[in-house]
Amino acid sequence: MDIRRPRGCGVEDGRSGEGWHVESTEDASPTRIMAKVAILGATGRIGSFAASAISHIPHVSELLLVGRSGREEYLEGLARDLMDSFAARGTDTRVSWSCETEDVAGSDIIVCTAGVPRQPGQDRLDLALENARIIAPTARTIGRVAPDAILFMVSNPVDVLTTVALDYSGLPHQRVFGLGTHLDSMRLKSLIADYFGVHVSEVHTRIIGEHGESMVPLWSATTIGGIQISNLPAFSQLPTDEMVETVKNTGELIIRQKGSTIFGPGEAIATLVRTILGDENRILTISTYIRKEVHNIGGVCIGVPARVNRSGVFPVPILIEKSEVQAFRQSVERIRSITKEVLERLENTDEIRSSG
């Protein structure tokens, strides 16, 4: 194993830190398509961990860490720390950092974790306008300098901000999406597996709708070992309401206990990036723009099952039970109302309208 550093530099025009490259003498797969991934908000806890998690993906050849002005020293330290981890595992990955959004040019995927973090006791939707004022000009810049990229929103409230990013970036619907209810679905999956005493891989379930209070569990689409969960005698004793409340409150509980969620979102982010770059065509539950894929309900970005591959995300048409349709419709209307208000207020903000 031959490891050499530093090699080359980061992005141009003197607005970034030095770039480093750890190189392995092992031959890469000739069919593997390599990619550059940019992380906006890399100085935050989720952004920092996501960078490490994403670096494990074989398709990633370059990471760009983007943070706000004034955090240059931290970004340089983060880049050095990551490079040490790459050297330890013999990874052929390049790292650079910047405080300029324009430097995401050339990125294949842009992961946006930027914004004000949710505080203990604060509803995700309370953050909507404050973070929208950050995301709107950022998305506009991304649309201008990286028109071929996939924009992956993590910032909360993710459903509202995914629409803001879609609207201001001008990118196609399939190339702007949010983390949505992917992690919520995984949390419910884990709870079900624990209750039935089975391996988590035997459970398939989904939560659709808002990443928040109005989320909708799809018990009609839940199976264990390929068996519809309602066909299992033990289902009648399953504390479904309690489980859903646990899923809703887990993030808040973690924030109250340790200040922020890090590892769960970070690994979920890496899973989605891996699915895209690997062109895996997996069906995951994410926040994306829907037209009428779920019982003709649409016109908003919200959590739904979607096929995920190198070209982007594509909502999958589904039919669900009547009670689930009603709950999903209410969730959509809740997000639609807040999103509309946020976009209207942004439109009246001169600095947003004229930026980019």
CB 112, CB 154: distance < 8 Å:
yes
User: Mean pLDDT, consecutive 10-residue segments, the chain of 356 residues?
Assistant: 30 46 44 88 96 96 96 97 94 94 98 85 75 96 98 96 98 98 98 98 98 96 97 96 96 90 96 98 98 95 98 97 98 96 84 51
As given in the structure block, the two tokens for residue 200 are 């988590």
pLDDT at 117: 76
User: Torsion angle, CA of 356/98/10/30, rounded to 10 degrees?
Assistant: -80
pLDDT at 348: 82
pLDDT at 33: 78
Distance CA 166, CA 299 (A): 12
Q: What is the pTM of this model?
A: 0.89
Residue 295 backbone zone (phi > 0: left; psi -120 to 50: alpha; other: beta): left
CB 315, CB 304: distance < 8 Å:
yes
Mind listing the domains of the chain with CATH numbers?
20-25+32-178 (3.40.50.720), 182-343 (3.90.110.10)
Tell me if residue 182 is catalytic: no
Q: Which of 21, 59, 182, 211 is catalytic?
A: 211
pLDDT at 120: 66
pLDDT at 20: 52
As given in the structure block, the two tokens for residue 63 are 């990471």
Distance CA 307, CA 311 (A): 10
Half-sphere exposure of 50 (CA within 13 A, CB side): 36
CB contact set of 190 (below 8 Å; sequence gap of 6+): 200
CA distances from 27 to 2, 33, 201, 280, 333 (A): 12, 14, 33, 23, 52
Q: What type of residue is 184? A: D
pLDDT at 26: 42
